[in-house]
Structure 1
Amino acid sequence: MSGIDVGNGVVGAILGVVFATLFQQGLQDVWFRIRRRSAGVVRSITFREQQGGGWSAFSLGPLHTSALIVDGDGGAVIPPESVHVQVLDGDIELPAEMSAWRDEIAAEEERVRESGERAPVWNGPRYAVESFEVSRTALDEHAEIHLRLRPTDYYTFLAAQQLDRRLADGSTPRGRHLDPDQPLTAPAFLQCSFGINIAVVTADHLLVVTHRSDRVRMAPGVWNSSVNEGLSQHIDSAGRNAPDLHSAARRGMREELALEPHEFSLFLLGFVLDVEKRAWSAHFYARLNDMTGEQLQTRMSRGVADRWEHQAMEYVPFRAVDVTRYLLRPDRIHRWAPVAPALFHLALVHVHGRASVERAEAQVVRRL
């Protein structure tokens, strides 16, 4: 090799180092921005395809529910004075074709009562949701809830639950009356349910989870919130007063867990709509003041008013990682009542904070 070639090689190497030093980081930055922008476009397209509208039901990794959190994020408590409930005059009236379905239910329950083949379903008085609205106070922007109800009964509720049954023209109540892009807009006769769901945590930090009985008419055999109670006209409306949601929650604690109001602290965290079944729910968190899981089990062994609604009960450490793993267990993930996972998430956020809970949930999902 000649001296000229060696000199050229040395010069080329030096120039290469200089150009790499001057331009490599810039080229890398440009390449990074291109990749990030492309990934953002892909994510945006995918998000639009998956979401469609502006509302999304609660999901956690592979667990997808039909529970839409309408108000509340778990962080702020909704005080009793911020909830305004009004009961309107006049019972719910079903359209003529659906009214015939209610007549079928009534006739079948009468036949069962006469034959004695099973216990008939009691046609208890309940409430339908005419409207649900949220406003904010002017100074601190706290939520003000306005809930308007109408009287109805359990047979009407059962008829209205047949959302996918064919009508005479081939359509269904779901297709005729509901717009998936406007989930909060629906006629009251399709919303004949308002319930109370409570996440109960014992003094030794155990979440109470219940397994619904196979004998109940609605959602048999699913795993559910600690307490689930429907609003009742006769029980929850003293005289002509509108029902009080906190009072109904305390009734549920007494009837399903044999707990008295002085034994727990109660917090309203949000309102949720099961968009599949058109069932509304107020979500509460209850912390037992002194009673441990073992003591609660002992208390319940002495008698519970509504024991028949549950066939089992389990206790889960009330930590985000443990509750998330429990929700996503292979033998649980497809057997949850629609609103239970959202309830437990809100309760975790209330106690442990959103950032901590979401970090733990993401960790569990990544390790599946």
Structure 2
Amino acid sequence: MDGIDVVNGVVGAVLGMLFAVLFQQPLHDAWYRLRRRSTSAIRSLGRQDESAPAWRAFSLGPLQTSALIVEGDGELPISPETVHVHVLDEEVTLPSDMAGWRDEIAAESERLQAEGRAPLWNGPRYAVESLDISRTALEERPEVHLRLRPTDYYTFLAAQQLDRRLPDGTTPRSRYLDPDEPLKAPAFLQCSLGVNIAVVTADDMLVVTQRSDRVRMAPGVWNSSVNEGLSRHIDSSGRNAPDLHAVARRGMREELSLEAHEYTLTLLAFVLDVDRRAWSGHFYARLQELKSTDLQARMSRGVADRWEHQTIDFVPFRPTTVVRYLLRDDRVHRWAPTAPALYHLALVHVFSRRTVERVEAQILRRL
């Protein structure tokens, strides 16, 4: 009997171990799933219906911006042939209770000139009347219709005072803008249209610039590789409408001393800075032969608009390094509004949305 008891004990122990190995983890997992579902069900009993705006500005964890990506996801480029720019004849005029602000700017410019200092050059610009998006009939590719009106730099500076009090106590922002309809705004508040370009060198280094402290708008912030505003004087030949790709090439030449044959250029998106009512065409440029050291050497021999930048960083163009750079403690709150969205879209264009968003999620979890 003692031998039988020993055998039974051994068999029981073996069966117990076998049962534990085969069924303990599945039972544990099943119990965990049941607890999670029960907890979720209990929590859902107290939840209310929620709604969220359809349009939300670009954000990445602690990095919050006012950049609204209106068209483009980075993966599907916007073809030059599907961008139609129309220039209307009537020039933008400010409301009577804002016209005096423009006069103040003109007077300031005259005072600066009288003191022997650099005046505010009142260059001819464009205001955005509207930007409409549709799709091509067969391929359903984006088609953009951009309607512009003539304006000038003084009007732009006056219209940038969106939170200045008007005689009735309102502000241009509260009177003319509805936060629930960010794409609707009068043209006189949208006197800023430009291009922003993410430039990557042949050795896979992303060019990141810091704006000079001497520029009037957004001094000292970190920005796109190239930022260029449209000029009626430079970018329109006769009565022809401006070409955004040509504006981008001009910016590449003036800010980085690069010629058109030295890079490829891709339009990724149209973006609106809803806080400043500034529109931008976001581009990606890839240098074909010039490495980061070559570009630095090129710029050391002269750049037309060198004074616009005070620092240039070269960041390895990989999702992990670029995202970490965007979120650095000394960068995260010092970005120009549209720059982070630009670099995100450039990463998506090269590495795919799935890869970039996976990397972003991993980095954000570790913050």
> By the TM > 0.5 criterion, same fold?
yes
Structure-2 change in CA distance of 1:26 and 1:191 (3 Å): same
Structure-2 change in CA distance of 1:360 and 1:152 (3 Å): same
Which residue does 2:37 correspond to in 1? 33
Which residue does 2:21 correspond to in 1? none
Question: Superposed, which structure 2 residues align to 1:181-200 within 5 Å?
Answer: 181-200=180-199
Which residue does 1:146 correspond to in 2? 145
Corresponding letter in the other structure for 1:343: L
Corresponding letter in the other structure for 1:161: Q
Secondary structure at the counterpart of residue 81 of structure 1: helix
> What residue ranges of structure 1 are gaps of 5+ in the alignment?
1-20
**Shift, 1:54, TM fit:** 1.4
**Shift, 1:24, TM fit:** 9.9
Structure-2 change in CA distance of 1:39 and 1:203 (3 Å): farther
Secondary structure at the counterpart of residue 109 of structure 1: helix
Which residue does 2:53 correspond to in 1? 53
Structure-2 change in CA distance of 1:259 and 1:29 (3 Å): closer
Corresponding letter in the other structure for 2:232: Q
Distance in 2 (alpha carbons) for counterparts of 1:63 and 1:348 = 17
**Shift, 1:36, TM fit:** 3.3
**Shift, 1:30, TM fit:** 5.3
Which residue does 2:285 correspond to in 1? 286
Moved over 3 A (4+): 23-32, 36-45
Which residue does 1:18 correspond to in 2? none
Superposed CA deviations along residues 1-54 of structure 1, whole A, max 9, x for unmatched, are: xxxxxxxxxxxxxxxxxxxx9x99988665433333456688986x74xxx421
Corresponding letter in the other structure for 1:64: Q
Structure-2 change in CA distance of 1:25 and 1:205 (3 Å): closer
Structure-2 change in CA distance of 1:27 and 1:357 (3 Å): closer
Distance in 2 (alpha carbons) for counterparts of 1:327 and 1:349 = 15
Which residue does 2:216 correspond to in 1? 217
Structure-2 change in CA distance of 1:38 and 1:349 (3 Å): farther
Structure-2 change in CA distance of 1:90 and 1:58 (3 Å): same
Structure-2 change in CA distance of 1:167 and 1:290 (3 Å): same
Secondary structure at the counterpart of residue 303 of structure 1: coil
Corresponding letter in the other structure for 1:112: L
**Shift, 1:105, TM fit:** 0.6
**Shift, 1:366, TM fit:** 1.4
> What residue ranges of structure 2 are gaps of 5+ in the alignment?
1-23
Secondary structure at the counterpart of residue 329 of structure 1: coil
Question: Superposed, which structure 2 residues align to 1:1-368 within 5 Å?
Answer: 31-37=35-41, 48=51, 52-116=52-116, 118-368=117-367
**Shift, 1:64, TM fit:** 0.3
Corresponding letter in the other structure for 2:325: Y
**Shift, 1:121, TM fit:** 1.1
Corresponding letter in the other structure for 2:37: R
Which residue does 1:10 correspond to in 2? none
Distance in 2 (alpha carbons) for counterparts of 1:307 and 1:91 = 32
Secondary structure at the counterpart of residue 262 of structure 1: helix
Superposed CA deviations along residues 76-108 of structure 1, whole A, max 9, x for unmatched, are: 111100000000001101000111100011011
Distance in 2 (alpha carbons) for counterparts of 1:151 and 1:195 = 14
Structure-2 change in CA distance of 1:114 and 1:29 (3 Å): closer
Superposed CA deviations along residues 236-274 of structure 1, whole A, max 9, x for unmatched, are: 101110000001000000000000000000000000000
Instruction: Pick which of 196-205 and 134-143 moved more.
Output: 134-143
Secondary structure at the counterpart of residue 105 of structure 1: helix
Structure-2 change in CA distance of 1:122 and 1:41 (3 Å): farther
Corresponding letter in the other structure for 1:146: H
Structure-2 change in CA distance of 1:41 and 1:154 (3 Å): farther
Corresponding letter in the other structure for 1:36: S
Instruction: Pick which of 28-37 and 60-69 moved more.
Output: 28-37
Structure-2 change in CA distance of 1:171 and 1:358 (3 Å): same
**Shift, 1:289, TM fit:** 0.3
Distance in 1 (alpha carbons) for counterparts of 2:93 and 2:66 = 26
Corresponding letter in the other structure for 1:218: M
Structure-2 change in CA distance of 1:206 and 1:41 (3 Å): farther
Structure-2 change in CA distance of 1:53 and 1:299 (3 Å): same
- Give the number of aligned pairs: 344
Secondary structure at the counterpart of residue 320 of structure 2: helix
Structure-2 change in CA distance of 1:206 and 1:113 (3 Å): same
Corresponding letter in the other structure for 1:144: E
Superposed CA deviations along residues 306-345 of structure 1, whole A, max 9, x for unmatched, are: 0010011010000011001111111111110000000000
Corresponding letter in the other structure for 1:108: E
